[in-house]
Each structure stands twice: as structure tokens, then as C-alpha cells.
Structure 1
Amino acid sequence: MNAMRGEPDAGRTGPASQQGMRRANLALVLGVIARGPRSRAEVAAETGLTRAAVSSLAEQLITAGLVVEEGPAAPSGKVGRPGTALGLNPLGPGGLGAEIGVRHLGACVVDLRGEVRSWRRQDVANRARPPAAVMADLARLVRSAVAESGLRPAGLSLAVPGLVGGSGVLQRAANLGWQDVPLGPELRPALRAAGEGLAELPIQADNEANLGGLAQRWLDHGPEDFLYVSAEAGVGAAIVVGGRLLRGARGYAGEFGHVPVRPDGPRCACGARGCLEQYAGEGAVLRAAGLGGAQGDWVTLLAERAAAGDQPVLSALAGAGAALGIAAAGAVNLLDPADVVLGGGYARLAPWLLPAMRRELAARVTVRPWAEDRLTVSKLGRRGPLLGAAVGVVRAIVADPASLTGG
């Protein structure tokens, strides 16, 4: 699986050092421009670089299609004619996100400013389907999203509901029925068949909850330390510390669905007993609501019935909220996050989950201050993982523009 960013040649000296410095300065300049349009003088003042250096670097970024001149800069109050504002190029390289869910596929393209240029979601029953068949459908969806966007993606990031190792292998996705799937090699032939040069894109992959948590940090501008809890078919979490994802020693942190909430409870697909997923996952909540054979989007079904006052559904959601609160209380006591954020399908079901969650948190988080308003709901909802995938590609460009400019 290709890396999203290249590394400078560490084996050279002299010129390589100069190349490394220019690479770092390109990222410094683009990072300032990414925060909002700036004149060359303003970029120089904020970076500490000389005006001449900024002008040279800006020309390189303009030539690469990453930056455009937007017209006169905002008045600075200084004497003299205002300079020309530099901004991110909305027609430059984009970020391409893709998502494999148990019941859906998704594709999204964002521009360098993070604005969504195309969005595709297709309902597909992917459980137990062969990876090649799923990848073929996904590649066609990706192609249509790219065509609609009018942009050339710089890379593709894939969100999946399972454990992804550092080599890009999906180690286990119980709700898909997949194990040891090399995602890049599986997807690339399908992209090649889809055409448009998509098979040449760098590909990376991550767990859907991780990408949802990153999107929460990048786009919703919450605290730097929080626990993000989400659900589609299963239950996942992202732990964000200091604005960065805490992955754990082997990259598997965040398996929130397999935190035990009742050690003598029913056996989970993972082999353990009493896991959170057995009380707050899709199948568990539907069974508790008397809807075990229901088809289609479970979140929409439950939300509509709960809004209509369906008592079995309300009871099932209250039970799920209590289980979520027990698990979240343990995480709060252990990790001391500023917030606990409900995302994914839980964001829509939050009105019926929150009361029981708050009761459990209040009862169990007793050794440190905990305020009710620290349990929040993501504004991104179920869009989080796909947005996180696409925006992550753009952030990688801003962090290392030399990967596209040639150094």
C-alpha cells in the first residue's frame, strides 16, 4: 500500500540538506496560506522567512496548482498599496475518500479548502460478500464522484469497519465477515477497471471510527482531548489526545464495542462475553426492540419509531444508552477526556440514548469533576468517517506539498 507522503533522501548530504530545508519551508508557507488568504508580506511576517524566499516558494506552489492569487489582500493598516492575496486553489488537487460499510458504500471528493465537491452514498448489503465484488462496486462509485467533482485527487483514503494494521491489511471485520484482506491490492485492480487513471493514486486505509474522530477534531473544532464513540453495524471509538489519534502499541486502540459491560452477559462474535456491542450494537438494539428481522437502515428505522413513541424501541434505546454510559464511564475514569462525543449512527439516536448515558456517567464518574454538558453529539453525524478520509488526504498535501511540487 503506497504511503501518502514521500520522505527526503536521508542518504545524501549538502544538497539534500538544502532540499530538506526547502521542503520544510514549502510546508510552512502552505500551512499559513491554508489558514486563510495572505499577502506575501503577511506570509513572510508569520513564518519568519524573507520576502524573497516567500515569493520563490509561492511561485513553486502556484506552478504546482496548489495556490492561486486571489486579488488585493485585505488592508493591513500600513502605508502603501496592499499586496496580492494568496489562497488555496479550489481547482487544485483534491482529497478522495471512500467508505465500505456493512450496508453501504460511499465516496467523497473535497478540494484543498476542505469543501465537499461531490458526495456519493449507495445502499449495498456487503455482509459476507467477497472483497473483489465489493471493491468493484466501490470503484465505480469512486469514479462517478471524481467525475462530478471536476478535480484530480492526489490520493485515496479508505474507511472500513474493522482492524487495519500498519501495512494496510484489514485484519478482521467481523460484521463484514472479512479477515486478512490486503485493502490496497484488492482495490487497485477494481480502480484500474474503472479507468480515469484512478489505479495510480496512493491508497491508504483506516478504521471508520478513527477517521470519524479525526474529522470531529478537524472540522468540528472541539477540544484536543476527547473520546469519540460511533456505531454503524458495530460499535467503535477514537481516542484523541492532544489533537492526535491515540492508536496504541499495534494500532488497534478504540475497540470500544468489545469493552465488557456485563461479564456474565451473552457471548459476542469476538468470543468474549458481555461486550458493549451485545447491548448497543445494531443487532442487539433491533432484537431488544422486537425488530430482529428488519431490513434496511436500522438507524433511520429506530429514529422514526422512537420519534413516534414506540415503547419497545424507546426501551431498547434506553438499554443501549445505559450500556454505553457504563463503558464510557470506564473510559472517562481511565483517560480523563475533556468530552465524550457521540458520532455515526449514535448521533441521530442521541435524543433517546443521552438520558441513560448521563445517568450512568453521573453515577460512575465520581473521582473527578464531570459535567453533563461534556457528553456531546457530533454535528458531522454519519458523514464523519467519509469526510475524515477525504480531508485527511488534503491535510497530507498541506503538510508536505513537495510530494506534488517535486521538492
Structure 2
Amino acid sequence: MHSVATRGEISRAAVAAEIGLTRATVSTLVDELLTAGLLVELGARRPGTVGRPGTALALNDNGPAGIGAEVGVDHLAVCAVDLRGTVRVRAEVEAHNREQDRPPGEVLRELTGLIGEVEAEAEALGLRPAGRTVAVPGLVGRDRRTVLRAPNLGWENIAVPLPAAVENEANLGALAELWLGGHETAAAVTDFIHVSAEIGIGAALIIDGHLFRGARGFAGELGHVPVHPNGPRCSCGARGCLEQYAGEQAVLRAAGIPPQRQGALKALHTAAADGDPAALKALAAAGQALGIALSGAVNLLDPQAVVLGGPLAELAPWLRPAVERELRRRVTDRQWPPEALLVSRLGRDGVLLGAAYSTVRAVLDDPQAYAFDSA
């Protein structure tokens, strides 16, 4: 499946040559995947100037779909992607999801309804939902069903009753970057720190092409790395966390834009593009704090790259100079190049795409298991 996904169109003979199996074995496997609706045959394709034409295989655009959902502090979003990772259906609503505004159960009921709407639209397009993943801004238990702590939502030990896997949003943003190639370089990047920010700041570590979770599954909490130990108190209970200097609300307040204002981030972007001094100063200070925290992570992990994702990607023109400056000052390996600070092309869609594509990825990794389950 990965051979077909990577190449787009490929013959059975080419698959056999690529993965080192006999043509007869590949033909049997392909027939099973065609029957399961994972692949389609496109007709004869001549491989070159000589030889008989081969039948090209491709992923089925109307096959399994991955359903991704996102619980943000101020929104809910759901999408369906096909086997290629193309978004086929999407829905998003503004919502006040902090526990002080409404209970978690009410949030999850609304999310369930939104998932149902997206799945119905996907099925009308001929897609078959193969699974669901829900992204949350917090720590998730090993059972992948419990939100242990999400400070910006005010959630603690909340069981998600949906038939879905639950995953930290930063992890899913990083996986989307890895799988869908969102970074701005043609080179293969398989070791990187992915950092994104909304109300909070999350990071995730990709090492040798795999997500690093840590001993208890909580790796990547960059937003709670202290950059000024005696600074303001954070929602986590500590003082001077990065989130208090480079989180969305902190930057908006410093720029003179009320965080509760509708379209506040768009207003910040516009103000910075117009050269507003307060906005530029706020973003430069956020970039400095972010660079201080990231330099410690780079010194510790020595990644190929650091990727700015989520809303940080949209604000990168004004954040990046200060981040680069701090990295140059503080990273001990003077050979670590500034061009290794990358900006994601996925932007704020990365988390939702990662959630949806994680289900698709499971199908691509083990298509026979999916074919057996769907038989």
C-alpha cells in the first residue's frame, strides 16, 4: 500500500520489484486489496518503449476514510480524508469549551454531533469511515481514551465516551508534518522538533521517523518550560513558563488586542503586516522567549530541524528573526544552521489533518487487517 501511496500509480510488476516479492504473490495480495476497496485498477499503462503495457494500480478515492476531530479552546472541528490524505469533508464551529463556560460532557456531545454530520457527508461521497481520532490540547492517558489534564480547557481526568482514539494535539501536528511533508524543504526530515501555539504552546519530537512519547507519554510540554523563573504564574501552577510569553493570549495582550475579540489573531497578523509598533514588539518578545526555550531543546536533542507549525507558521515572518537570533546565541553546536528552522505549510490545519490521517496511516500500514475486518 505504501508503494502505491508514494508513487501514485504503479504496476503490479513494479510493486513486486520494489518490495522484493514474486509477481504471483503480489498479484494475490493486490486482488485482496481490490476486493476490499483499497485499490483500483486504472487500465493499461505502457512502461516504456518496449514490452507489454501493465495495468496501473492506484489508491481508491472512494475507499476508507479517516475521521479527525479537534477540541480547541474556542472551536470544534472535524474532517474526513481519503487514502491520499485529501480533505473531502470538513466542518468547524466556534465554541466556548472551557469548563468554566460549559461542562466537558456538553462539549463532547456537540463534537459527537459534528462527527456524525461529517461521516454522513463522507458516506454520501462513497467513502467508508475507517476510524476516528480526537485531538485535545492536553495530556492523554495510555488508554488513549482519557484526558488526564488539559489546563487551558480546565479538564482533568475526563473520559471521552466516543468510539475514537484520543491524542495530544501537538503530537498529531508533528505526525502530519512527517507524513504529509508540510515543511518548506525538499530534503527528507525525519528528526525534528515541531512546535505550535494557540492558547497554549505544544511541541512534539520526531526521532528517526517516529513519535517520541517519553516514559509516561508526556514528552513535548515545551509551553511549560520556564524561561523566566520568577515570571507570572501559569495555568499549570508554575511561574515564568514559555506559554506566559509566547502563548496566543500573552502576545495579543502585549500587542494591545483583547484576546476575547473575535478574529483576534487575524487582527494581530494585519497589525504586524501594517507595521504596527505594538504588534511588532509583542511578536519579537514572543520570538525571543520561544528561541530561549527551543535552544535548550536543540542542545539536548540535536535534531535535524525545528518546525514552526500551527498559528506560529502564520506569524513566522515576525517571530522567526528573534527565534533565529536566540538559537545562534545559545545553541552550542555552531554548525547547527539557521536554515534548519523551518515553517510548516500545513499551518493551523496540521492538527486536524494529523488526527484524520492517523487512521488512514493505520490502514496503509496493515491493509490486510482492514480487508479482513471489513469482509
The 1-side partners of 2:263 and 2:149 are apart by: 23
Q: Is the 8 A contact 1:227 1:237 kept in 2?
A: yes
The 1-side partners of 2:209 and 2:372 are apart by: 29
Q: Does 1:160 pair with 2:136? A: yes
Equivalenced residues, count:
361
SS in 2 for 1:327: helix
The 2-side partners of 1:294 and 1:101 are apart by: 14
The 2-side partners of 1:44 and 1:330 are apart by: 46
Judged with a 3 Å threshold, the aligned counterparts in structure 2 of structure 1 residues 66 and 205 are, in CA distance, closer, same or farther, namely: same
Deviation string 1:239-270 (CA, Å, 9 cap, x unpaired) is 11111111100110010100111111112111
Q: Which of the residues 234, 242, 245 maps onto 1:268?
A: 234
Equivalent runs, 1:49-198 vs 2, <5 Å: 49-79=21-51, 81-128=52-99, 129-149=102-122, 150=125, 151-168=127-144, 169-183=146-160, 185=161, 187-188=162-163
SS in 1 for 2:309: strand
SS in 1 for 2:158: strand
Q: Is the 8 A contact 2:68 2:134 kept in 1?
A: yes
Equivalent runs, 1:4-403 vs 2, <5 Å: 30-36=1-7, 37-79=9-51, 81-128=52-99, 129-149=102-122, 150=125, 151-168=127-144, 169-183=146-160, 185=161, 187-188=162-163, 203-220=164-181, 222-292=188-258, 294-403=260-369
| C-alpha deviation, 1:141, in angstroms | 2.0
Deviation string 1:281-314 (CA, Å, 9 cap, x unpaired) is 1221122223345322432121122222222222
**Number of the residue aligned with 2:185:** none
Judged with a 3 Å threshold, the aligned counterparts in structure 2 of structure 1 residues 71 and 235 are, in CA distance, closer, same or farther, namely: same
Q: Calculate the TM-score normalised by the size of structure 1.
A: 0.85
The 2-side partners of 1:167 and 1:180 are apart by: 12
**Letter in structure 2 aligned against 1:166:** R
**Letter in structure 2 aligned against 1:175:** N
The 1-side partners of 2:116 and 2:271 are apart by: 36
The 2-side partners of 1:381 and 1:120 are apart by: 17
The 2-side partners of 1:59 and 1:262 are apart by: 61
| C-alpha deviation, 1:78, in angstroms | 4.5
Q: Is the 8 A contact 1:299 1:348 kept in 2?
A: no
The 2-side partners of 1:227 and 1:127 are apart by: 28
**Letter in structure 2 aligned against 1:98:** A
The 2-side partners of 1:335 and 1:242 are apart by: 12
**Letter in structure 2 aligned against 1:238:** A
